[in-house]
Structure 1
Amino acid sequence: MSTPEQNRELVLTAFDTLFGKRDYEAAQEFWSEDYRQHSRHIPPGREGLFDLVRALPATLRYDNQLAVAEGDYVMLYGRYSGTGDAAAVVADVVHVENGRLTEHWDVWEDEASRAESASGLPMFGDHFPPDRAG
């Protein structure tokens, strides 16, 4: 049985492998063949996720700000950018079983610009990105 810290590192490595390196062959080792997807943005299964990433521009970038693990669940708070649309700030929740990602949920929101932010504070990090600073 893996520890929460091991699960946290596994999920961070899996996200980097798929979204950062776009190494689909290596990513297969992280995502279960029976992967269950609960996102409104992502087609079902491991191949649905991989096909979505393949269809996105090569400029896609995932930046993680926070990773929290409890038992077999890991929550990542990060930003997806580089798709040509406004960046999205996302909380991804992943279930890990036997060293593989088996299930995923997310909460997805377009990143607010300084003008759109009622609090005047950025949604991700400590400053607004240049394209959202106005």
Structure 2
Amino acid sequence: MTNKEIVLKAMNELFHEKDSEAIARYWHEDYKQHNPGMTDGHEGLKNLLPALDANFKWQPGIIVEQGDIVITHSLVNGWGPVPVIVADIFRLQGGKIAEHWDVVQEEVPASKSASGHAMTSF
């Protein structure tokens, strides 16, 4: 499985299927989280699941893989009160997600953007 495939499976199984066992399968035991609102390790991910909106949806568009780095540009619903656009950066080690960074901004519909373009690639 490629690093991109690992990330896609991990995110789907944890956040869409709500399978907390996916954490042990896909996240490194020394997982480092760089989002300032989240903690390191498996426990931080386990604690996140019950706090998510029941209709949480992570919809990746552009995905880039280079070596041990995978970057996804996604539309996320249910992270907060409004849809957000997220650029997630994952570093994998030994076939598991070892580190994560993200950049999050509220979605602006194409009809309200200066260019008239959507913020997503789909």
TM over 0.5: yes
1:90 matches 2:89: no
After the TM superposition, which of the residue ranges 24-33 and 79-88 deviates more from structure 2?
Answer: 79-88
The one-letter code of the counterpart of 2:116 is G
How far has the Cα of 1:115 moved from its partner?
5.2
- The unaligned stretches of length 5 or more in structure 2 are none
Does residue 50 (structure 1) correspond to residue 21 (structure 2)? The answer is no
> Once the 2 structures are TM-superposed, how far is the Cα of residue 50 of structure 1 from its aligned partner?
2.7
Q: For residues 55-83 of structure 1, what are the alpha-carbon distances to aligned partners after superposition, in whole Å with 9 as ceiling and x for unaligned? A: 11211111111211000000011111035
How many equivalent residue pairs? 122
Q: Matched residues in 1 for 2:110 and 2:95: separation?
A: 40
Moved >2 Å (runs of 4+): 40-46, 113-116
1:121 — aligned with what? 117
1:34 aligns with 2:34: no
Instruction: Determine if contact 1:59/1:83 at 8 Å carries over to the other structure.
Output: no
Native 8 Å contact 2:62 2:121 kept in 1 = no
Aligned CA distance change for structure 1 residues 125 and 70 (closer, same or farther; 3 Å) = closer
Structure 1: unaligned runs, 5 residues or longer? 127-134
Q: Aligned with 2:5: secondary structure?
A: helix
1:76 partnered with 2:72: yes
**What is the alpha-carbon distance in structure 2 between the residues aligned to residue 6 and residue 14 of structure 1?**
12
Kept in 2, the 8 Å contact 1:29–1:100? The answer is: yes
Q: TM-score, normalised by structure 2?
A: 0.89
Contact preservation (8 Å) 1:65, 1:124 = yes
Which protein has the larger Cα radius of gyration, Structure 1 or Structure 2?
A: 1
Percent identity, aligned pairs only, is: 37
